[in-house]
Chains A and B, each alone.
Chain A
Amino acid sequence: MTAIETFGLTKRFGSLTAVDDLTTTIDGEIFGLLGPNGSGKTTTVKMLTTLLTPTAGDAHICGYSIREHPRDVREHISYVPQDMAVDPKLTGRENVVFFGKLYGIPRPREAADEALVRMGLMERADDLVRTYSGGMRRRLELAQALVHDPSVLFLDEPTIGLDVAGRRRIWEHIIGLKERGMTVFVTTHYMDEADHACDRVGIIDRGKVIVTETPETLKASVCRDIVLIRSDDRFSGKFPEGVTFLGRAGDELRFEVQDGDEAGVVLSRLFAENGMNIRSISVRKPTLDDVFLSLVGEQDEQTAFDFTRFRTMLRRR
């Protein structure tokens, strides 16, 4: 059964098209939806988690239509929204057991223990959540989400506001979940994290998903690697095959090549043979940031923050 299939999924708020005709298939992978603020990421997730009804189109989660069978959809998913919502006055265990009971699973306590162990929270399970760090709270939310063993997990900005160690740990857990066969749909702002963890990413801008690809393909499509060599001497020979000389700025020579690591070695050897004195070599590989900027552009938020529209959107959530 395919985890997520969307057919022309569209959501409009008045004249604003938040998500425009989204058709895609996601299964057995970590899929990252990337996009600037207000591009429709959260609206997409909210439709897929049955919190918003689409204006047009449909989506099937594990074979169930979000329009026709929203309750069956909710049986098979978990949703962890952006704002961290765990009860600080309850213990970690109580938070998870509460979710287990709400999901109506047969043995909520055992399932909660299992989820807590999996998220590495068992030692602190009986402490009040008030005493938990941000990263622990996020893992507790994951434990809540896993308590009924969902097929599809939706995470909205899972690492926002966490420190480096906390982020790494969250992603390790997410990757672990995928390896156990779960499909994970995640939205994020952090390109490096998406690059590292996601099997495929989709880039959304003004409601349109522009591209859906693996991070590697996307990066390769934008530009080749850049090699920067600093040297005071001039080079008068011929550059090897596959190396494009981009220009010289001061003492810095710029080249575009297919594989920066190999070309760097070849170039430095060539220069040394020509008696040049090389001060430094650096290779810059394209990142998802470059992909993102080349596709979406460096848009400032053009219009002033429209509060009425924001309120209407919030209301309709």
Chain B
Amino acid sequence: MIRTLWYVERDLRRWLRGRINLLSALIMPAAWLIFVGMALPIRFTDNYLDFITPGILVLTMLGAALQGGSLLMFDKILGFLQKFLAMPAPRESILYGKILFITLRGMIQTTVILVFAIILGAQFLDPILLAQIYVILFIFGVLLSSITTTVALTLEDHDTYAAFNAMIAMPLFFTSSALMPYDQMPAWLAFLARLNPVSYAIDAIRDLQAGILPVMTLAGLLIGASIVLLISVIIFRRATV
């Protein structure tokens, strides 16, 4: 278990030393919050910022997971993975370390969003609410980063992964409930949005804002994350033995 943390430490150090990476990771979500959250002419609510913040939080986690998916693939391409595999540490800890790092990085970015949102006037100050939001974001992060890491590992090629990335990022975001509630959507979009796993995470956070504990959604996310993680481990084992 401790080995997983050493892998996380390595990635964290590398990330923190890349100044541009760090800056971009922190500024991008803030830009979303300001340009989408404060500029769109919205009529269905008085406080669109409160409404959009959960969407941006989840979007940030999605972006972090897509960006981080290529990390393990690069470790493989550059020869690090071979070295790690020839070490006595359990091989799965390499995969767990990556998933944990990507999720933690996403959570650092979402913290920046939360701080911005609170400064701009969103109501997220209840510590219990914040803790619950973090739990949801963590589970969602594990789910997504398992998927992206595994997809990248299977594709084995950075360009192809970038194409995959571009192909799924925007549709996943726009067909979710991030920008508007279901009753404001055209019927076909509402149908897609209800299928979209990104919506589950957003809806769960909105329920929490409204004081409801979203047990079903939470359970769904948890089960989904476990299944995906299991599949990732199987594919990782197959790719490395």
What residues of chain A have their CB less than 8 Å away from a CB belonging to chain B? 49-51, 53, 71, 74-75, 77-85, 87, 89-90, 94, 98-99, 101-104, 128, 144, 154, 314-315, 317
Contacts and interface: CB of A to CB of B under 8 A. Distances in A.
Contact of A103 (B78, B79, B80, B88): B88
SS class of chain A's interface: helix, strand, loop or mixed? mixed
Given A79-B83, A89-B13, A98 B6 contact: yes
A51 B89 contact: no
A104 B82 contact: no
B86 A50 contact: yes
A83 B14 contact: no
* Chain B interface main SS type: helix
B88 A101 contact: no
In the A-B complex, list the 4 residue pairs whose CB atoms are closest, starting with the nearest: A85-B79, A79-B86, A83-B79, A74-B88
A55 B88 CA distance: 22
A51 B17 CA distance: 31
5 contacts: A71-B88, A84-B79, A90-B13, A102-B3, A102-B6
Interface in B134-152: none
Interface in B74-108: 78-80, 82-89
Contacts of A78: 86
B40 interface: no
Given A79-B82, A84-B79, A87-B10, A53 B88 contact: no
Given A90-B13, A98-B10, A104-B89, A85 B18 contact: no
Contacts, number: 69
Given A74-B86, A102-B3, A104-B88, 20 more contacts: A53-B241, A79-B86, A80-B83, A81-B82, A82-B79, A84-B79, A85-B82, A85-B83, A89-B14, A90-B13, A94-B13, A98-B6, A98-B10, A101-B2, A102-B6, A102-B7, A103-B88, A104-B3, A128-B17, A317-B82
B239 interface: yes
A80 B80 CA distance: 10
Contacts of B13: 89-90, 94
A317 B2 CA distance: 26
Nearest to A82: B79
B80 A89 contact: no
Q: How large is the interface on B (under 10, 10 to 19, 20 to 34, 35 or more residues)?
A: 20 to 34
Contact of B88 (A75, A84, A87): A75
B70 to A, nearest CB: 16
Contacts of B239: 315
B237 to A, nearest CB: 12
Contacts of B79: 81-85
A51 B86 contact: yes
A40 B22 CA distance: 43
Contacts of B10: 87, 90, 98
Contacts of B241: 53
B182 to A, nearest CB: 44
A317 B239 CA distance: 8
B59 to A, nearest CB: 28
A133 B31 CA distance: 40
B87 A89 contact: no
Contacts of B82: 51, 79, 81, 85, 317
B85 to A, nearest CB: 6
A315 B155 CA distance: 11
Contacts of B14: 87, 89-90
A102 B3 CA distance: 6
Interface string B141-176: 000000000000000100000000000000000000
A170 B192 CA distance: 60
B44 to A, nearest CB: 46
